[in-house]
Amino acid sequence: MSLSPEQRREYRAIAHNLKPVIIVGDKGLSEGLQEELERALNDHELIKIKVANQDREARQEAIAALCESSGAELIQSIGKIAVILRRAKKPNPKLSNLLRHKH
């Protein structure tokens, strides 16, 4: 799924006010974290994740691995925070960050 610059801008704007729902700690990509990520993406579609690692390269690797394992797309990555997106087949209007922020 390839996103246009306009879509990316819109998703960044929506994500601006979101709090990270997934925090990748020292344990990295544990099974519990993968399950949490799946649930968060299914519920919200567009989420923020925080990677607590101090090493920039390790953070980028962790974000890439999360996106790959979940089939999500990276929208933006700044410092320790990344915004990722995976559209749900049947989004929940009460939970989806995409549907809740449509203008």
**Unique residue bearing structure tokens 């390269």:** 57
CATH number at residue 29: 3.30.110.60
**Unique residue bearing structure tokens 């997934």:** 22
Task: Measure the CA angle with vertex 24, ends 19 and 25; round to 5°.
Answer: 120
pLDDT band at 27 (very low <50, low <70, confident <90, very high): confident
Candidates 54, 3, 62; CA nearest to 29 is 62
The answer to whether 49 touches 84, Cβ cutoff 8 Å, is yes
Q: Give the predicted TM-score (pTM) of the model.
A: 0.91
CA atoms within 13 Å, Cβ hemisphere of 77: 15
What's the number of domains the chain is made of? 1
Q: What pLDDT, in 10s, does the model give residues 52-95? A: 989 999 999 999 999 999 999 999 999 999 999 999 989 999 99
- Which structural domain range is residue 40 located in? 5-101
Please give the structure tokens belonging to residue 94. 């009460």
pLDDT value of residue 51:
95
